[in-house]
Chains A and B, each alone.
Chain A
Amino acid sequence: MSQYRPMTEEELRERVRKLKAEYNPDRVDMFTFRGAQYDHGLAWVHFPEGYGGLGINPKMQAIVADELRKGVETVYDDLAINPIGIGMGAPTLMTYGSDELKRALLRKCFTGEEIWCQLFSEPGAGSDVAGLATRAVRDGDDWVVNGQKVWTTLAHVAKWGLLVARTNPDVPKHEGLSYFLLDMHSPGVEVRPLYQITGEAEFNEVFLNDVRIPHRYMLGQEGQGWQVAITTLMNERTALGGGSTQKGGGPIQVLMQLWNARPPKRHAPAEAAVLRDRITRLYIESELLRLTALRARAMMRAGNPGPEGSVGKLAQAELYKKIWECGMDVLGEEALVYEPGYALRRPAHEERRDKVLLAKYQFLRSRANSIEGGTSEIMRNILGERVLGLPGEPRTDKGIPWKDIPRGG
C-alpha cells in the first residue's frame, strides 16, 4: 500500500558507506560532502531521485543518520546548518514548488551554501499570521511587495526567504494570501538586527520596499498562500518538538553534567535532595519527549506531519524552560555572573559553548521556546481543537474582508 519504493536496510547502509568511501567527511569540506550526500539521494530519502532522495520510506532516514555517524569525526547536524531551509523550506518547496525551482534550490539548501529564513511574522500579526498586512501587487510578470516583517531569524545571512504576503485585501483574511520565495539579495530588502533578551541578535526586522519577485517564485496558486504556509508551520512544529534523538542527550545531558560536576555538598542536604528529584523528573520528561516522538513517527503516515507533532512542540518548550531554570539553581551563586556580559552582538551561526556558559545563556534563550514557532497558548488551542475536537473560539473576524477587521494599536 506504500507509495514508496522498496529498499532494504542493508542496501541503504551500503549506499551510505559508498558515499563515505568516495567523500570522507573528515577530509572534504562541508559543502562538498553534503553535495555528494544530496547527489547520492541521501539528503531526504523520501524525496524523488534527482531531488536529494531515493523515493523510499522517510523512516529510513534514521538509518542514514546512523550509518553516517560510524567511524568518522565529522557528523553534520542538519538543523544547525540551515534550520529553516532544511526543516521547513525543503518540504514546502517539495510539495508546492515547480520542478525548475526544486532543481535550482534544493541542493544548495541542503549543503547550507544558501541559508533560508521565514518571513511570516509582522508587527501586527504574530500568532494571527493570517492577519498579516504586507502587500504584493501584480505588475506584469512580477509581484511588487511592500511591508514589514519582524523577528526574522537568520535574515541577515539568508539567501532565500519564505514570504507570505497579502494579494487580495477584499476577501476574508485566509483567502487573500499568497506564498513566495524571496531572493533576500533583491533590491528593496532591508534587514536590521533586533537585539534580544540575551544581548544577541539572531533575528531581525525586514523592510520590503517595492521589492520585485518574478511570478515563477510563487509557491502554490495565487490566494492559496495559507495552505502553503500550513505546510511550513506543521513542519516547523515537528522540527521544534522532537527533543533529542539520543537517549539522555540534549539539554538534560548538560544539566546532569553540571550537577555531577558540582558535588551536592555545596547544597544543603535538603536542598540537594530536592534538586536531585527535580533533575530526575526532568530526565524522565526528556526521555518521554524522545519516546513520544518515536511513537508519533511510528504511527505517522509517512511524509505528512499531523497535529501529533504539536504535543512535542508544547511539551518540549515547557520542558526545556524548566531544565534551564534548574540549571541556574544547580549553579547557585555562580549563575550570578553572566559572561561575556550583554555586549550586543550577532552570534556566529554555529557556535559551541562551554557547559556553564551554555546553561546561563540557555536560561535566557529558552524563554523563546514557548513563543517561537507558535506560542504554548496557540499550541494548546491546536491540541484542544484539532486533536481533542473541542469547539473553536468564538470568532469576531470570520467571513469579514481582511481590510474591515478591527486592528489594535
Chain B
Amino acid sequence: MDFAFTPEHEELRQTVRRFLQDRSDEATVRRLMVTEEGFDRATWAQLAEQLGLTALIVPEEFGGSGLGPVELAITMEEMGRTLFCAPYFSTAVLATSVLREAASDAARQELLPAIAAGKKIVAVAWAESPGIWEPADVRLKAQHGRRGWTLTGEKTAVIDGQTADEILVVARTREGLSLFRVSGSADGLQREALPTLDLTRKLARVRFQKTPAECIAASADVEAQLQRAFLLGLVALAAEQAGGAQQCLDMSTQHAKTRWQFGRPIGSFQAIKHRCADMLVAVEFAKSAAYHAAFRAAEGDAGELDAAARMAKSYCSDAFFQVANDTIQVHGGMGFTWEHPAHLYFKRAKSSALLFGDPVHHRDKLAAIIGV
C-alpha cells in the first residue's frame, strides 16, 4: 500500500535525524566540503558501527540489515536535509545496489560485508560524456587479453571516484553490458578530482589505460539488473532532493517569521507568504513522488518502478531547484552571501538535477512508458 510508514520507519527517521543534527551541522558541512576527501572518517565509522546505516540495504547473508528502498529513502531524505558530506550515496546506495542486483556471488562476498562494516568506499562509474547516464547507453569497452580483462576509456561524474577504494565500472564486452571491478591502486588508473559546482558532493573523472579489471557480472541479465540499480539510485536521489527542499522551506518560513521590514514580519506580505505556500505545494508533491517511488521499488514490479522512479527524479529535481531558488529570494541580500547556507542547497539542487539524467531526459522516457 502507498505511504504505509510503520513505527519502525518513524524510529529510523528520528535516529538518523538526531545523528545528523549532531554530526552534520552547518559548520561541519562547511569544514568538510573544502577538504579533499570531503568527509570525516570518524563520523563514517560511527554511521557504520553505531547506526548500521552503511549496511542498510546489504542483504543479511552478507552482514547487512537487508532492508529496502523505503528505509533507504527515509535515510536519504534526512541526509538531504543537512547536506550530509559522506560517500553514502556512492557506496551504500549505488555500489551496494549494483552489487546486490548484478554482481557474482564471489564479488558480493568480498565487497558487501566490507561495505556493510563501513570499511570500504566503493564508487560506481557509469556516466560518460556527453550525457550518457543510462546503463543502456554506456559505450566504454572492455578487452580480454592474455592477462585477463582491461579497460580503456573515460568515465565522468564518478561520485567519490577520487577517494574510493574500489571502482565498479559499467562497460561493454562483445556479449553486452558487463560490470567490472577496478582497484583504486590499479595500474593505468588515473583519477582526477573535478572542481564541482556543489562542493558537498565530490565528483571525479576517471581514465582507464589498459587498466586491469575483474569482470564480476557478464550474464545476459546484467543490463536489466544494472537498470534496476540505476532506478534505485534515482529513487534515493529523489528522496534526498525532497529532504533538501523541505529544509529550504523550513529555513524560508523561519526567516519570514522573524525578519521585519516596514514595521512587520516579511511573512505577512503576500508576495512572500504566497511564495512560501507555493514552495509548500512543491515540497509536498516532491515527498509524494519520492515515497511513491520508494514503495514501488520495494514491491519489485519493474514496470511500475520505471515510471515511478523517473517521475520522482524529474519532479523532485524541478521542485528542489525551485524551492532552493525561492529560498535565496526570501532571504534577500543575506541569501546571496557565502555565509548563508541557501547557496549550498541551491548548488546541490542544480547538481542533483543534472546528475543521472535531467528532468527533461526522464520525462522523455516516462512519456514513452505512459504512451504520450
Contacts and interface: CB of A to CB of B under 8 A. Distances in A.
Interface of A: 248, 256, 259-260, 276-277, 279-281, 283-285, 287-289, 291-292, 294-295, 298, 311, 314-315, 377, 379-381, 383-385, 387-394
Contact of A291 (B2, B265, B274, B277): B2
B273 A280 contact: no
Contacts of B274: 377, 380-381, 384
B74 to A, nearest CB: 15
A240 to B, nearest CB: 15
B45 interface: no
B257 A385 contact: no
B105 interface: no
Interface string B281-318: 10011011101100000000000000000010011000
A192 B253 CA distance: 46
Contacts of A392: 268
Contact of A390 (B4, B273, B285, B364): B273
Contacts of A314: 277, 281
A393 B268 contact: yes
Contact of A256 (B267, B268, B372): B372
Interface of B: 2-4, 249, 253, 256-257, 264-265, 267-268, 270, 272-274, 276-278, 280-281, 284-285, 287-289, 291-292, 311, 314-315, 360, 363-364, 366-367, 370-372
A383 B257 contact: no
Contacts of B367: 276-277, 279-280
Contacts of A298: 2-4
A360 B366 CA distance: 27
A393 B253 CA distance: 16
A392 to B, nearest CB: 7
A283 B368 CA distance: 12
B281 A311 contact: yes
A284 B268 contact: no
B258 to A, nearest CB: 10
Contacts of B371: 256, 260
Nearest to B366: A280
26 contacts: A276-B372, A281-B363, A285-B285, A289-B285, A291-B2, A295-B2, A298-B2, A298-B3, A298-B4, A311-B280, A311-B281, A314-B281, A315-B281, A315-B285, A377-B270, A380-B273, A383-B280, A384-B267, A384-B277, A385-B273, A387-B280, A388-B253, A389-B253, A390-B256, A390-B265, A391-B267
Contacts of B267: 384, 390-391
Given A280-B363, A285-B285, A388 B370 contact: no
A381 B273 contact: yes
Contacts of B291: 295
Given A256-B371, A384-B267, A390-B276, A311 B3 contact: no
Nearest to A314: B281
Nearest to A283: B370
A1 to B, nearest CB: 14
Nearest to B1: A298
Given A277-B363, A383-B281, A391-B268, 16 more contacts: A279-B367, A284-B289, A284-B366, A291-B2, A291-B3, A291-B292, A298-B3, A311-B280, A311-B281, A377-B270, A380-B273, A381-B273, A383-B276, A384-B277, A390-B265, A391-B267
A390 B287 contact: no
Contact of B315 (A288, A377, A389, A390): A288
B363 A288 contact: no
A291 B372 contact: no
A259 B273 CA distance: 37
A387 B280 CA distance: 9
Contact of A391 (B2, B265, B372): B265
A390 B281 contact: no
A280 B311 CA distance: 9
A62 to B, nearest CB: 11
Nearest to B307: A287
Given A277-B364, A284-B366, A394 B3 contact: no
Nearest to A385: B273
B268 A288 contact: no
Contacts of B277: 314, 379-381, 383-384, 388
A289 B289 CA distance: 10
A195 B284 CA distance: 37
A298 B1 CA distance: 10
Q: Which of A276, A291, A314, A379 has the most CB of B within 10 A?
A: A291
Contact of B257 (A277, A294, A390): A390
B257 A391 contact: yes
Nearest to A384: B273
Contacts of B366: 280, 283-284
B2 A284 contact: no
A178 to B, nearest CB: 31
Contacts of A260: 371-372
Q: Which of B265, B268, B277, B285 has the most CB of A within 10 A?
A: B277
B5 to A, nearest CB: 8
Nearest to A390: B267
Contact of A389 (B4, B257, B270): B257
A322 B324 CA distance: 24
A292 B280 contact: no
Contacts of B278: 380
A249 to B, nearest CB: 13
A391 B265 CA distance: 7
Nearest to A287: B311
A280 B253 contact: no
A137 B292 CA distance: 54
A377 B249 CA distance: 19
A339 B278 CA distance: 36
A285 B367 CA distance: 13
